[in-house]
């Protein structure tokens, strides 16, 4: 019918393993359809080729499905095994075996997870070592004044002594008790600083010059007793965003250290200045200085460069640790440079909350 309408027609169908083809074309006379030519072919050879191709595709599909299934099984078993290793390692770490490591080759997600897990256990192990060292150091430091108090009290109880001698012993007991109190307070302050806890609540705008004036007023008597001169040069308007108590404690600890570990007739000079978008505080002293090999450790808890001198000055090696923690949680940085025999300079940098102006020292 399509050919009689003037259009060519072709149709091909495959059934019963035979390729059947139908074709028709119109016959025109003076542009008029007068008939059509109709052809039909049954090709069994072409049908066998198609049948063979179908079988090949079917078999190939079966093989491909088998390979995919096998790969899925292998991947699942391997992945499950690697995941079980990771889960086993997590249980071991949870039980306190921080030294345990996962040995896993490859570059897939499991190997990446194992590498990150190993980094985490390294950090946990280092934290555990630090905590153990801290407890050991704290116990040692607390044991010394406690032993002194025990010895002095036993001497009072076991020996006959006059009133003046007893008064001296009692005064020594009081001094050791004060030392214990100071140490406990510093440990509490350090713990709060490490945990980012504050009693003040929120950061506020702090005028560094005014804070330094308060610090100087508190430390002038100590400086006079140590024969140390306190001086300062402060640019007006140097303000930072900080916890007010932290800013005071940072300056107090640095200046106090500069006084305690200075030489007789020495000096401590504090400079506060604006540099671009930062406020820079330099605390420079004329003390004995810090050896180069000790510079990296001075901010560690209970670390003391000269242990005998530190104990004599009443230090427990916590002041600079407190400063380091407080500077960090108030968005600042601290560094130190020192020359043995000449002195040290601690530099603290905070983001500025205003613009500084040259002016008379505030402290």
Span 54-109, pLDDT tens digits: 788 989 999 999 999 888 887 777 767 777 887 888 888 888 777 778 877 777 77
Q: In which element (H, E) is residue 19 found?
A: strand 18-29
Tell me the pTM.
0.55
By the 8 A CB rule, do 335 and 262 touch?
no
pLDDT at position 237:
87
Q: Say which DSSP state 252 is in.
A: H
User: Cβ distance 75 to 91 under 8 Å?
Assistant: no
Instruction: Give the chain's domains with CATH numbers.
Output: 1-97 (no CATH), 129-196 (1.10.287.130), 204-351 (3.30.565.10)
State which residues of the chain have pLDDT below 50: 200, 307-314, 356, 358-363
The secondary structure element, H or E, covering residue 70 is: helix 44-94
Residue 261: per-residue pLDDT: 87
Query: Strand, helix or coil at 268?
Result: strand
Neighbouring-strand partners of residue 15:
18
Query: Are the C-beta atoms of 320 and 253 separated by less than 8 Å?
Result: yes
Q: How buried is residue 107: exposed, middle or buried, by Cβ count under 10 Å (0-12/13-18/19+)? A: exposed
Q: How far apart are CA 161 and CA 62, in angstroms?
A: 105
**pLDDT for residue 363:** 42
Determine the pLDDT at residue 308. 43
Q: b/e per residue, 293-306, with b = 16+ CB within 10 A? A: eeeeebbbbbbbbe
């Amino acid at each position: 019918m399509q050919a009689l309408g003037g259009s060519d027609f072709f149709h091909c169908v495959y059934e019963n393993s035979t390729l059947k083809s139908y074709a028709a074309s119109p016959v025109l006379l003076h542009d008029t359809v007068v008939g059509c030519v109709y052809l039909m072919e049954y090709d069994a050879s072409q049908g066998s080729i198609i049948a063979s191709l179908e079988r090949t595709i079917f078999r190939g599909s079966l093989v491909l499905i088998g390979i995919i299934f096998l790969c899925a099984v292998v991947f699942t078993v391997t992945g499950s095994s690697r995941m079980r290793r990771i889960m086993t390692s997590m249980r071991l770490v949870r039980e306190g075996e921080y030294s345990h490591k996962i040995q896993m080759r490859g570059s897939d997600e499991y190997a990446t997870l194992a590498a990150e897990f190993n980094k985490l256990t390294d950090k946990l192990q280092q934290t555990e070592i630090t905590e153990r060292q801290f407890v050991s150091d704290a116990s040692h430091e607390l044991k010394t004044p406690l032993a002194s108090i025990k010895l002095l009290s036993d001497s009072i109880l076991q020996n006959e002594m006059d009133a003046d001698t007893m008064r001296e012993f009692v005064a020594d007991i009081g001094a050791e008790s004060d030392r214990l109190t100071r140490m406990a307070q510093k440990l509490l302050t350090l713990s709060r600083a490490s945990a980012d806890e504050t009693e003040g609540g929120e950061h506020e705008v702090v005028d560094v010059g005014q804070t330094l004036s308060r610090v100087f007023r508190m430390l002038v008597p100590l400086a006079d007793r140590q024969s140390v001169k306190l001086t300062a040069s402060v640019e007006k308007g140097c303000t930072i965003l900080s916890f007010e108590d932290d800013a005071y404690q940072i300056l107090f600890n640095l200046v106090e250290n500069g006084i305690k570990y200075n030489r007789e007739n020495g000096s401590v000079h504090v400079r506060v200045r604006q540099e671009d978008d930062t406020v820079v505080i330099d605390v420079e002293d004329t003390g004995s200085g810090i050896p180069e090999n000790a510079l990296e450790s001075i901010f560690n808890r209970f670390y003391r460069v000269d242990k005998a001198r530190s104990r004599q000055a009443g230090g427990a090696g916590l002041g600079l640790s407190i400063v380091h923690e407080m500077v960090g949680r108030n968005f600042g940085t601290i560094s130190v440079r020192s020359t043995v025999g000449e002195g040290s300079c601690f530099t603290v940098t905070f983001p500025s909350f205003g613009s500084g102006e040259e002016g008379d020292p505030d402290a």
